[in-house]
Each structure stands twice: as C-alpha cells, then as structure tokens.
Structure 1
C-alpha cells in the first residue's frame, strides 16, 4: 500500500513556535532584527513578524518597555482602566495612584462583592444544616475564595477606622473629594489614607 504524503508544515510551525516561545516569552529576548538591517542607511527596516500568539505578547512588552517598574500586563490593565470613567480611573490619570494600587483596588472590590454575594446566598438558604457538612461546608468551598475572604478580613481590620470611606471610594466609585468632604477630612489626608490602604492589600 503506497504511503500517503504527509504535511511537513505543521511540525515545522510547531517547532518554530516553541523556539520563539522559549526565546521571547521565557528568556525575554528582544525581537530579532531583519536581515541586512545594519547595512541600511536610509529608512527604517521592517520589523520581523513572529508567529501568532508570540507576536501579540512581544508587542505588549514593547509597548511598555519604557516602564521600569511593573509588568507589561499590569500597565496594559491600568491603561484600559484609565480609559473608562470613574473616580479610581481619574486618580490613575492624575498620578494620584499607580497601576499596582489600581490592581489592588480591583481585587478588594472583587473580594467585597464575592463575600457579600456569598452572605446573601447563605442567608437565603433556610434549610437546616447537619453537623456532618454538605454542599455548603467549608471543605467544599473553593480554596481561592477562602484565601480571598481571609485576606479581605485582615485588610478590613487593618483599615478599620476609615474602612467605610475607603469602601465608598473603591467599591461605590465615590469621588475622593466627595469622600473627604463627607468624612470631614482634607483631600490630601483622604488620598494618603487611600494610598496606604491599597499598598497594605498585598501584605494581607
């Protein structure tokens, strides 16, 4: 029986993709220069295009290569957040908080909504619960949710004196100046409390 022809393009592409993945995503090597780029005297040499999936990640890294702190993904997320309206987005735009602090605010808000939603579900469940556990027992709770809940509890305790104001800004999207006025603080003091609270999240 004659052998059917095999397509050699797919294995070659897979090998090239793996080589580029290791070189650019694992080792962090820059985009390769086009052949003959050093001999060009005028004009800009066209960039070497990498395989799909690798090209997009390298573009992202190149887009934020001027930033010395933080990952490209963090800065990209912050830029996307800054393009939308909201008190935290405006604070990023003015430089009052940075990308890491914005990411912390998102995580705090996510934890808050997750916990309050879970409380609502538990409150609505009026069926008796046995001591032997069940679908609502702690052993069945996702580990990530438990860790997030504990981190939020520690953070909430740490910022307890000003927790209500901070949640109004982070969760309810209240303007910093409005929060400062409602809690009878100066704008500078309210901003300082917010920055300290966001920085403390990663330690919880």
Structure 2
C-alpha cells in the first residue's frame, strides 16, 4: 500500500459529522496544511478532540472561526475568544476536560482499554453524569476512552511506511492521537526511505499511520 497521498486525497476521509482528533498545543505541532485544507473544503458539523482551540488565526482555531465544529472536547479555550463566544451563544458545544484526563482518555482508546479511574474532578462539575467508585476509601471517577474517526497529526519526519519522528514539544498530543482513530493522517516535514530513520527515534510506529502527506516544514 502506498501511504503517501495528496492533501486532497487525505482530507476526503473527513466527512460532515466526523469526529476528528488534531494534534498540537496552542497550535504548536498542529498539521497546519491539513487544517487549511479542511477550512477550504468547508466540511461541517465536526466534533473536535484536541488539547485546546489554539488562536483565531492558528491551528484548529481557524476551523472554529469558520464555524465547522458542532462540538469541541478540549482542556481549555482561553486563547481563542471566538470559542468562548460561540459557547455562550449556544452555537457550539464545549466539553472541558482536565488535561491529564484528556490525554489518558485518548491513550486508553489507543491501548484498547475500557477506561480508567481518576480522583481528578471528584466533587466538581466534572463528575456530573459519571460513574463513581470507592477503592480503599478513596473516591474515583470512571473516565471512558476517546476515539476518533480521523486523527490529523504532524511529525517532523516519516519514512514511507509511516514511522514518525517528532521534534521537541511537537510530540505533545500527536503520538497519543495517532493510535486512537480509525484513520490516522500524518502531515510531515520530510519523507525518507524505509530504513533511513534510527529506530530509537520513532515515537509512532508506521502500523498506526494510514496516510502520509508531505507538507514540508512547519
């Protein structure tokens, strides 16, 4: 299978109503060219799973501005005032999840787990609607996995099988999300031949990557 595709071929897998994960932290390490292509395509009613909604002109924030999300599941929205405006106006649903819980819910989906127990959020609005358990005298919330139809990630380098190498903090949510979707699309800065990447540098094995887009350096 040839995993290297055009941006247009890649985003054809994102349909109206899709659940998507997008890597990045305040836009850092986000697949900007894939995001721009989704803006141009005008796909709508998406559910976003991401650490945050970045800024109005960066990362997934551009999709917020064009009102392409019906719901976002994120750890914070403070850097994008348009997200807050749409939330208050009931134009978009915002599900705020503690950052560590968000990461672990994604990891659980990728690992095939049924969920995990955490004390984070006990006694707050975070616990609303969730099952609680008492273990050794301590209360925990049962948090369920988060999985997506499509994950969009960014990596510094990939070989043609899809083994991914991330640079510095760009590893943030990208490696987790790459494991937790039916289809994983990696926008990469450089594509090399199989065998050219030191195996010790690989953070996402190619078995998790469905398609590769050679987008150049971010």
Task: Using structure 2 for the length normalisation, give the TM-score.
Answer: 0.21
Richer in helix (by share):
1
Task: Using structure 1 for the length normalisation, give the TM-score.
Answer: 0.22
